[in-house]
Amino acid sequence: MPHPISRRAFLATAAASAVQGATAPPAPYGATPSQRQLRWHELETTAFLHFSVNTFTGKEWGYGDEDPNIFNPVAFDADAIVSALADAGMRGAILTAKHHDGFCLWPTKTTDHGIRNSLWRAGKGDVVRDLADSCRRHNLGFGVYLSPWDRNNASYGRPAYIDIYRRQLTELLTDYGPIFEVWHDGANGGDGFYGGAREKRTIDKRTYYDWPKTWDLIRKLQPNAVIFSDVGPDIRWVGNERGIAGDPCWATYDPVGADGGPASPGDVREKDSPAGQRHGSRWLPAECDVSIRPGWFWHESENVEVKPVAQLTRLYYNSVGRGANLLLNVPPNRDGLLSPEDMASLKAFGQYRRATFARNLAAGATAVASNVRGAFGPQNLLDGRSDTYWAAEDAIREADVAFDLGRETSFNVIRVCEAIRFGQRIDAIAVDRWSGSAWEQLAAATSVGPRRLIRLASPVTASRVRLRVTQASASPAVGEFALFVEA
Ligand code: FUL
């Protein structure tokens, strides 16, 4: 496991200690991210792939009585899908290996309801394998969604099903290489086929799945994978399916159940999830899942309702820009490919991000801070590295850094990132520009955490800019300050 402080920063600190007296990194404040959470924060945007029998029946929730032969994506091409995702800047892809219909997209030994019994590739295909391999070739993480609710399985609702669910997870987490995220959705129980019983089955969300035991199994098989659910343990649902984080959106959170009691997947007080809680005791950052279409699965009638690039861009600022990650669903169609409408939006989204974020316009600035903790100077804000940072001395709660850009510069996007391995320390910031005779406030924001993007209504021009930490609960430690102009 890498040491949280880079060797360069460490040597710089050591040298500074020799000449200026000891300057250790700040002591962590409150909850801090694990290594696996830190890696996840760096992904920013990942893709969801909803693909199953529903793609062919036109439903959103399959009943579990589908003929496996309807699953026949004759032109399925994992590389065509994954290369489009990579081009759009997605750094991971999470596949519905099994949705509520119970149909398995890999040749599982646990049930007959799956691709092994479909016409597709004469029952010899493996969607999970093809996508996992392709993600590796394209340098994307690969993740799995395994629905806890299974409307096909005869044992659903009984203890035997929990064993089947864990065996399915074991197959997925053993046979397909590294998995970056395991996704448990919260929809649970109701009517279904259940091996022909065709009845309604309800379960106790708090006890039926014995989640801690399943999470131990995931830790054992894939220690680097983050686990997502309404309540974590690593990543929390943001509380809506519109792709929008709260403002503020704190990475810290202590979820409670809908009735105020203990929380579990499928049972959380959803209204708390968008914002999290300032000073919550757990590092439990938000993931914003949203579909590029009205539904999660591909439906021909929705080809005309694919979100255009301007809408994807707004979602990016309202999720990633508030310190959450964006999980954008792009469902393959009946051919087993992304439809041209989805491809066009994805492509434009990738172009927008590459052009806008290509170059930090503040990179060459000189930076002067109102307070510096030994060697952790403000120039570290501009070096493009995520492991170096500017820090203030222990007693400081308000501080600023003035940047001299050297020439008049136009920008309309500001990015600020805290050095989150020391916790979420900042409560509020403001950004000013020098008008020629005075500082003028351009924008203010609350939570920063892994990232805050401020998008101004139109570009402003300045040769000097100032970041102000206006409120903090511990001495600020900031990793990045950057300016961009939208393409
Ligand atoms: C929900 C499911 O019920 C939807 O079908 C979809 O998979 C969404 C991402 O999660 O819980």
The atom of ligand 1 lying closest to the CA of 187 is 11
Q: How far is the CA of 289 from the centre of ligand 1 (A)?
A: 9
Q: Evaluate if residue 7 carries a pLDDT over 80.
A: no
Ligand 1 probe mutation, 185, 268, 273, 290, most atoms within 8 A of CB: 185
Per CATH, the architecture of 35-355 is what?
A: Alpha-Beta Barrel (3.20)
Atom of ligand 1 nearest to the CA of 291: 9
Expressed in angstroms and rounded, the spacing between residue 183 Cα and the centre of ligand 1 is 10
Q: Is the predicted pLDDT of residue 3 greater than 60, yes or no?
A: no
- Ligand 1: atom nearest CA of 145 is 7
For the chain, domain boundaries = 7-30+360-484, 35-355
**DSSP letter, residue 25:** P
In the chain, the amino acid numbered 86 is A
| Cα 185 to averaged position of ligand 1 atoms, centre (Å) | 6
Residue nearest to atom 6 of ligand 1 (CA): 296
Alpha helices per DSSP H over 145-301: 159-175, 211-221
- 13 C-alpha to ligand 1 centroid (Å): 48
Structure tokens at 234: 């690593």
Closest C-alpha residue for ligand 1 atom 10:
185
The alpha carbon of 195 and the centre of ligand 1 are apart by a number of angstroms equal to 22
Q: What is the pLDDT of residues 260-271, one digit of tens each?
A: 999 999 999 999
The pocket around ligand 1, CB under 6 angstroms, is made up of 60, 185-187, 289, 296
Q: Which atom number of ligand 1 is nearest to the Cα of residue 289?
A: 9
The more confident residue out of 236 and 19 is 236
CA-angle at 215, arms to 213 and 219, nearest 5°: 120
Predicted pLDDT of residue 189: 77
Find the 256 Cα to ligand 1 centroid distance in Å.
Answer: 21
Question: What is the atom index within ligand 1 of the atom nearest the CA of 96?
Answer: 7
pLDDT at 301: 98
Q: Which atom of ligand 1 is least distant from the CA of 297?
A: 5
pLDDT for 227-247, tens place per residue?
999 999 999 999 999 999 999
Label residue 328 by pLDDT band (50, 70, 90).
very high
Ligand 1 pocket check: which of 46, 144, 287, 296 to mutate, most ligand atoms within 8 Å of Cβ? 296
| Mean pLDDT value of segment 377-394 | 97
Q: pLDDT by residue (tens digit) across 90-123? A: 999 999 999 999 999 999 999 999 999 999 999 9
Tokens of 36: 């696996």
**Phi-psi domain of 436 (left: phi exceeds 0; alpha: psi -120 through 50; beta: other):** left
Ligand 1 midpoint to CA 127 (Å): 19
Residue 364 confidence (pLDDT) above 80:
yes
Mean pLDDT of 23-47: 97
Rounded to the nearest angstrom, the distance between the alpha carbon of 212 and the centre of ligand 1 is 22
Give 154 Cα–ligand 1 centroid separation in angstroms: 22
Residue 323 confidence (pLDDT) above 90 = yes
Selection from 130, 220, 142 nearest residue 182 by Cα: 142
DSSP strand pairing (226-229 vs 181-183)? parallel
pLDDT for 19 equals 40
Cα 187 to ligand 1 centre (Å): 7
The SS3 assignment for 320 reads helix
Above 90 in pLDDT, residue 14? no
The answer to whether the CB of 333 falls within 8 A of the CB of 339 is yes
Contact 100, 62 (CB under 8 A): yes
pLDDT digits (tens, 9 = 90+) for 194-209: 999 999 999 999 999 9
Q: Which atom of ligand 1 is nearest to the CA of 186?
A: 11
pLDDT band, very low/low/confident/very high, at 309 (cuts 50, 70, 90) = very high
Q: State which ligand 1 atom lies nearest to the alpha carbon of 48.
A: 9
Say if CB 479 and CB 467 are below 8 A apart: no
Average pLDDT over residues 451-476: 98
- Would you state the pLDDT for residue 487? 86
CA dist., res. 246 & res. 275, Å (int): 5
What was the pLDDT predicted at 465? 98
| Nearest protein Cα to ligand 1, atom 3 | 187
| pLDDT value of residue 22 | 42
- The dihedrals phi and psi of 53, each to the nearest 5 degrees, come to -60, -30
**Mean pLDDT rounded to a whole number for the chain:** 95
Ligand 1 centroid distance, CA of 49 (Å): 11
pLDDT given for residue 176 in this prediction? 98
Cα–Cα distance, 384 to 27 (Å, whole number): 23
The residue contributing the CA closest to ligand 1 atom 8 is: 185
Choose which CATH entry (3.90.1660.10, 2.40.110.10, 1.20.1730.10, 2.60.120.260) describes domain 7-30+360-484: 2.60.120.260
